[in-house]
Amino acid sequence: MARIVMKFGGTSVGDLDRIRNVARRVKAAHDDGHEVAVVVSAMSGETNRLVGLVSDAAALYDTREYDVVVSTGEQVTVGVLSVILQSMGIDARSWLGWQLPFCTEDVHGNARILDIDTSEIERRFAETREVAVVPGFQGLSPRNRITTLGRGGSDTSAVALAAALRADRCDIYTDVDGVYTTDPRVTDKARKLDRVSHEEMLEMASLGAKVLQTRSVSIAMSQGVPLQVLSSFEDKPGTMVTAEDESMEKDVVSGIAFSRDEARVTLIGIPDRPGVAAAIFGALGDAAINVDMIVQSRTVIDGDAKTDMTFTCGQSDLPRALTLMEERYDDIQYTELESDEDVAKVSIVGVGMRTNSGVAKTMFGALAEKNINIKVITTSEIKTSVLVGADYMELAVRTLHDAFGLEGPSAADSQV
Amino acid sequence: MARIVMKFGGTSVGDLDRIRNVARRVKAAHDDGHEVAVVVSAMSGETNRLVGLVSDAAALYDTREYDVVVSTGEQVTVGVLSVILQSMGIDARSWLGWQLPFCTEDVHGNARILDIDTSEIERRFAETREVAVVPGFQGLSPRNRITTLGRGGSDTSAVALAAALRADRCDIYTDVDGVYTTDPRVTDKARKLDRVSHEEMLEMASLGAKVLQTRSVSIAMSQGVPLQVLSSFEDKPGTMVTAEDESMEKDVVSGIAFSRDEARVTLIGIPDRPGVAAAIFGALGDAAINVDMIVQSRTVIDGDAKTDMTFTCGQSDLPRALTLMEERYDDIQYTELESDEDVAKVSIVGVGMRTNSGVAKTMFGALAEKNINIKVITTSEIKTSVLVGADYMELAVRTLHDAFGLEGPSAADSQV
């Protein structure tokens, strides 16, 4: 008997037939004698529809009300899945974020989980082994209002719930069968990885490889939750996300991640004095806008030292970011405010990069050979990212996949 | 300065433009200095979509989970309306049923309101005159689960909230401009009433005239809430629903109500012994199935006294009603269980019927003249109802509207 958290994303619960498929998987685990909590996302398309409704209602909206609207997507799924599980003879009930409660910070649209009260779920596990059906993505603020965790937050909900329940395993069921060297839709040379380290997964997730949400991997790493990514449509092993250990094959580069949801903002001709960066990024941070790449460069205009500041954020945050920069004009005093949504980020990731020089040279050389213009570069210990024109994204991914020799036996061959 | 509850139904919030229209009406009331609470339904079509999702998930579903799913419709509307009000510069926030809370019985799918905690709304009225945006139809059970009040429950929510807030007025905005002698879509001779008594409105509402939900009228009557039905699309007076008084014109028949949502169940050949009716209607009552018409008749089969029992219920309750009757076979011991969904109910309503004989004769004579077969008849002090074949419903309504001389100046002429 094990205690398992099973998480199913939007595509896996996209219609009633798929929710029935999820219910069969849950039933199989329950029939095997396990204690099961299921975390589900909104049916695919629902979150986008609800977000669209709010942003069509007003360009600048109260994120507290956004959370009221958008959290309904998961609420529908937990009710429907519970009904289907019950119709299969399984004792099951839904728990909304405010019912457990799933306590978060007092932040809306992008809250962090503080604590989950699992006492009632555990009591029912002990009494009748009732399946707990829990909505991902949503929680309750200290002010008794609904919060959401930000896009992809259901993975985080699942891992945090697994940690709170001291679960033996957290299985993340998705529409792919594991973690690949890059997105197989971009190149058919992509290869499934049997294992990947938390650190690599973190970089890949944060860089837009859409398999796992970043915070979920952080929590799994810090709380020691065994995590598996696997297909909700096929019965086969997925990719284990594990601590880095000696036995792991140390590829210099393990994968190529990318993200289309990028927007660039540049503030030109800022007076070069202390406190400017704090004014810019303080304002963005207060508004819960996640800033990713940051590049600062000095120029001299008419004898005055000036600074240009470039940062990137998610496209949906761009209007708010620009409004904030305009509101803070007096503190920042740029000569020009410029933005570009027609960009994408491509990154190489690998724990082996730590001990291997020449990676940057290979990367920039390969991109230059294909005439791909690099707009921004950032690096960390185990990844290097470039911002390129959106049109060049796929080409850049394929070029780098080849340049680092990631092509392996085809995905079909590697399947057990 | 008055305290007003404004309620807008599904058609009035059917899309963003219509929600903006609602927001303009709320703003106008707020700008006039009033304290305003708005109660809204789900966007039109949403509740049907959500109910369909649950009933497609399983034929017999847990009504607790049904409530989890179906209550999301109103949750979306309150969030979106709050965002739009804020974008118009109005201080507004949404309150979900569990947040106030809106306490109900521990019954799902058809709960009754027990108590509404309006302290926080009133505190904010006093401090900043913040508009309270409240979802209709939903509440919280003593077990901390979401309940719903049954179809049309948003009217009840509005009137109960008006009573709890000791509001000066409860305005129910709908897609019609008042209460008519019958549905103008069935006959263009229908005439708008300036006033109607609570008692008449109660019968019309309970008999399927879809302007106001029955319980809302009961609460308005018992709590003395001034109630008005008016159009959300046009600026003109509606129909006041008031206590019956001397000044009211006493038409023998004030209106013709009808309902398509009817199903007939007949239990044939029940042994004629005490306790059978209790077994049948006890089981239905325990399952919160509203039974409407009941007719019992005795027959003698092979020398044994037998009873046939016919009752009607809403079409969506029919499968559950039939299942219950099958489960209770041992207690009831009918020889045959028969049902028919192809029926409709047509009723004449009027406080003047109390003091006027000959109404039944006029009604049955007019229907007979058109060859409309009557399947079931029930009567009360101020109404007489007949169950007819669904195909004959419109004809029956028009026939009775003529027979009781309800045609007045056309609706267009009577508008001020």
B245 to B222, B249, B250, B333: CA distances (angstroms): 16, 9, 10, 50
Please give, rounded to a whole number of angstroms, the shortest distance from the CA of B256 to a CA of chain A.
39
A75 contacts in chain B (CB < 8 Å): 68-69, 71-72, 75
Contacts of A87 in chain B (CB under 8 A): 57-58, 60-61
Q: pTM of this prediction?
A: 0.74
pLDDT of residue A416: 33
- Using the beta-carbon criterion (under 8 Å), do B54 and A80 form an inter-chain contact? yes
Q: Which of A68, A78, A94 sits opposite B79 (nearest CB)?
A: A68
Q: How far is A238 from chain B (nearest CA, A)?
A: 29
pLDDT at B402 (0 to 100) = 94
Residues A47-66: pLDDT tens digits? Answer: 999 999 999 999 999 999 99
Confidence of residue A250 (pLDDT cuts 50, 70, 90): low
Between chains, do B80 and A54 touch, taking CB under 8 Å as contact? yes
Of B57, B80, B99, the CB nearest to A83: B57
Q: Out of A58, A78, A80, name the one closest to residue B53 (CB).
A: A80
| 3-class DSSP state of B399 | helix
pLDDT attached to residue A179: 87
Question: Can you tell me the distance from the alpha carbon of B185 to that of A353, in angstroms, rounded to the nearest whole number?
Answer: 74
Chain-centre distance of CA A195, in angstroms?
Answer: 19
Contact A58 B94 (CB under 8 A): no
Strands A169-174 and A3-8: parallel
Q: What is the 3-state secondary structure (H, E, C) of chain A?
A: CCEEEEEECCHHHCCHHHHHHHHHHHHHHHHCCCEEEEEECCCCCHHHHHHHHHHHHCCCCCHHHHHHHHCHHHHHHHHHHHHHHHHCCCCEEECCCCCCCEEECCCCCCCCEEEECCHHHHHHHHHHCCEEEEECCEEECCCCCEEECCCCHHHHHHHHHHHHCCCCEEEEEECCCCEECCCCCCCCCCCEECEEEHHHHHHHHHCCCCCCCHHHHHHHHHHCCCEEEEECCCCCCCEEEECCCCCCCCCCCCEEEEEEEEEEEEEEEEECCCCHHHHHHHHHHHCCCCEEEEEEEEEEECCEEEEEEEEEECHHHHHHHHHHHHHCHHHHCCCEEEEEEEEEEEEEECHHHHHCCCHHHHHHHHHHHCCCCEEEEEEECCEEEEEEEHHHHHHHHHHHHHHCCCCCCCHHHHCC
Shared fold status for B3-175 and B247-416: no
Q: Are the Cβ atoms of A93 and B64 closer than 8 angstroms?
A: yes
Q: Which residue has the higher pLDDT, A234 or A19?
A: A19
Mutate to test the interface with A, among B65, B130, B133 (most CBs of A within 10 A): B65
Q: Considering only CB atoms, which chain B residues are within 8 Å of A16?
A: 53, 56-57
Ordered by start, the domain boundaries in chain B are 3-175, 247-416
Give the per-residue pLDDT at B134. Answer: 98
Q: Which tops the pLDDT comparison, B46 or A412? A: B46
Under an 8 A CB cutoff, do B76 and A53 touch? yes
User: Measuring CA to CA, how many Å separate A350 from each of A9, A251, A299, A393, B347?
Assistant: 26, 7, 34, 20, 77
Distance (Å) of CA B277 to CA B289, B296, B320, B336, B379 = 15, 9, 18, 16, 19
The percent of residues in chain A predicted with pLDDT above 70, rounded, is: 94
Q: Which candidate from A54, A68, A76 shows the least CB-CB separation from B50?
A: A76
Look at residue B412 in the predicted model and tell me its pLDDT.
Answer: 40
Single out the residue of B94, B6, B85, B77 nearest to residue B43, CA to CA.
B77
Instruction: Pull the structure tokens for residue A224.
Output: 């020691």
Place of tokens 């398999």: A211
For residue range A324-355, what is the model confidence (pLDDT) as tens digits? 999 999 988 999 999 999 999 999 998 877 76
Q: Between A and B, how many CB-CB pairs are < 8 A?
A: 107
More confident residue, A213 or B119: B119
- CA separation for the pair B43, B216 (Å, rounded): 20
Interface contact B62-A19, CB threshold 8 A: no
- Between A410 and A169, the more confident residue is A169
CA distance to partner chain B, nearest, from residue A98 (Å) = 9
More confident residue, A73 or B408: A73
The confidence score (pLDDT) of residue B274 equals 78
Q: Which residues of A touch B53 (CB under 8 A)?
A: 16, 76, 80
Burial of residue A120 (CB within 10 Å: 0-12, 13-18, 19+) is middle
Residue A3 pLDDT level (bands cut at 50, 70, 90)? very high
What is the chain B residue with the closest CA to A50?
B76
pLDDT at B391: 95
Contact B62 A84 (CB under 8 A): no
Residues of B in contact with A58 (CB under 8 A): 83-84, 86-87
Q: Do B66 and A75 touch (CB under 8 A)?
A: no
Give the angle subtended at the CA of A148 by the CAs of A145 and A149, to the nearest 5°: 140
- A177 or A132: whose pLDDT is higher? A132
Among candidates A54, A56, A87 on the partner chain, residue whose Cβ is nearest the Cβ of B79: A54
Q: Does the distance separating the beta carbons of A69 and B75 come in below 8 Å?
A: yes
Mutate to test the interface with A, among B15, B24, B72 (most CBs of A within 10 A): B72
Query: Order of strands, edge to edge, in the sheet holding A291-301?
Result: A291-301, A304-313, A255-271, A336-349, A383-389, A374-380
Looking at CA atoms only, how far is residue A283 from chain B in angstroms? 22
- Spell out which residues of chain B touch residue A50, defining contact as CB-CB under 8 Å: 76
Rounded CA-CA distance B358/B279 in Å is 37
| Residue A107: both structure tokens together | 């932040």
DSSP B232: S
Residue of A nearest to B59 (CA): A87
pLDDT at A299 over 80: no
* CATH tag for A3-175 (out of 3.40.1160.10, 3.40.718.10, 3.40.50.720, 3.40.1350.10): 3.40.1160.10
Option in A69, A71, A94 nearest B68 (CB): A94
Test A54 with B99 for CB contact under 8 angstroms. Answer: no
Lowest mean per-residue pLDDT among A35-39, A204-208, A331-335, B305-309 = A204-208
The beta-carbon neighbor of B144 closest among A57, A82, A99 is A99
Helix, strand or coil, per DSSP, at residue B135:
strand
pLDDT at A107 over 90: yes
Name the DSSP letter for residue B11: G
For residue A414, the model assigns a pLDDT of 39
Write out chain A residues lying below 8 Å of B94, CB-based: 65, 68
A80 contact residues in B (CB cutoff 8 A)? 53-54, 57, 65, 69
Mark out the alpha helices in B129-247 (DSSP H runs).
Answer: 153-164, 198-206, 214-223
Distance from CA of A230 to the nearest CA of B (A): 25
CB contact under 8 A, B16 and A144: no
What residue in B sits closest to A144 (Cα-Cα)? B99
The pLDDT score that the predictor gives to residue B72 is: 98
Residue A400's alpha-carbon distances to A176, A186, A286, A403, in angstroms, are 22, 12, 36, 5
Please say whether the dihedral angle defined by the alpha carbons of residues A90, A91, A97 and A101, taken in this order, is positive or negative: negative
Q: For every one of its 416 residues, what pLDDT tens digit does chain B have, with 9 covering 90 and above?
A: 899 999 999 999 999 999 999 999 999 999 999 999 999 999 999 999 999 999 999 999 999 999 999 999 999 999 999 999 999 999 999 999 999 999 999 999 999 999 999 999 999 999 999 999 999 999 999 999 999 998 779 999 999 999 999 999 999 998 888 888 888 888 889 888 888 888 888 887 666 556 788 788 889 999 999 999 999 888 888 999 988 765 555 667 889 999 898 999 999 999 877 788 888 988 898 888 888 888 888 777 777 788 888 999 999 999 999 999 999 999 889 999 999 999 999 999 988 777 676 788 889 889 999 999 888 888 887 888 999 999 999 999 999 999 999 987 544 443 33
Q: What is the DSSP string of B350-374?
A: -GGGGG--SHHHHHHHHHHHTTPPE
pLDDT at A261 over 80: yes
CB-CB contact of A55 with A61 (8 Å): yes
pLDDT on residue B143: 97
Predicted local confidence at residue A415, as pLDDT: 37
Provide the 8-state DSSP code for B49: H
Contact B110, B291 (CB under 8 A): no
Q: What residues of B are in the A interface, CB distance below 8 Å? A: 16, 19, 50, 53-54, 56-58, 60-62, 64-69, 71-72, 75-76, 78-80, 82-84, 86-87, 93-94, 96, 98-99, 144-146
Query: Residues 6 or more apart from B262 whose CB is under 8 A from it?
Result: B292, B312, B313, B314, B315, B341, B343, B344, B345, B387
| CATH hierarchy code of domain B247-416 | 3.30.2130.10
User: Residue A160 in contact with residue A112, Cβ under 8 Å?
Assistant: no
Chain B residues near residue A74 by CB distance under 8 angstroms: none
Q: How far is B80 from chain A (nearest CA, A)?
A: 6
CA distance A208 to chain B (A): 29
Residues of A in contact with B72 (CB under 8 A): 72, 75-76
